[in-house]
Amino acid sequence: MMCSFVHTKEFNPVRSRISVFNFEKVGFSTPIVCQQCSVAACMEVCPVSAISRDEDTGAMRVNHDVCLRCKMCTIACPFGATIYDPVSDIITKCDLCGGDPVCVKYCPSGAITYAEPAPANVGRRRDYAEKFKAVYEEVI
């Protein structure tokens, strides 16, 4: 909710840059958020180079003045974390709130964390992806 408020000035989970995917059969939910990939498919597929990496935060940023809204980046993102906002007519992604993500700051349960990119985090991401894959395969 805080994400949508900070970016759109309304409390609307549909307009958040983080979405929650529910595996209803197994009672499991997981946040879907931009992984700020080192080789970002969203950036690679953009025909006008509207997506770039912020040098200060490492976040993938969308230049809305250049973006065609072709939505190729939304298709290319393997995590489903690049989103088209039809209200604002823009492509949205987690921009890490300038390096101080409000979702982390205001998460009431502490379920969302933010860690600087480091080799140790790669293993955690891989483990998380394996768990996510296992749940996905169980549902199918």
Is the pLDDT assigned to residue 30 strictly greater than 90?
Answer: no
Q: 16-50 burial by CB neighbour count: b if 16+ within 10 A, else e?
A: bbbeeeeeeeeeeebebbbbbbeebbbbebbeeeb
Distance CA 118, CA 79 (A): 20
| Residue predicted with more confidence, 123 or 73 | 73
Q: Confidence band (pLDDT; 50, 70, 90) for 24?
A: confident
Q: Which domains does the chain have, with CATH numbers?
A: 2-139 (3.30.70.20)
Query: For residue 19, what are the β-bridge partners?
Result: 32
User: How far is the first Cα of the chain from the last one, in angstroms, to the nearest whole number?
Assistant: 30
| Residue predicted with more confidence, 36 or 122 | 36
Kindly report which listed range (29-38, 87-96, 118-127) carries the lowest average pLDDT score.
Answer: 118-127
Tokens (6 digits) for 2:
């805080």
Q: Are the beta carbons of 74 and 51 closer than 8 angstroms? A: no
Q: To the nearest whole percent, how much of the chain has pLDDT over 90? A: 52
Q: What pLDDT was estimated at residue 21?
A: 84
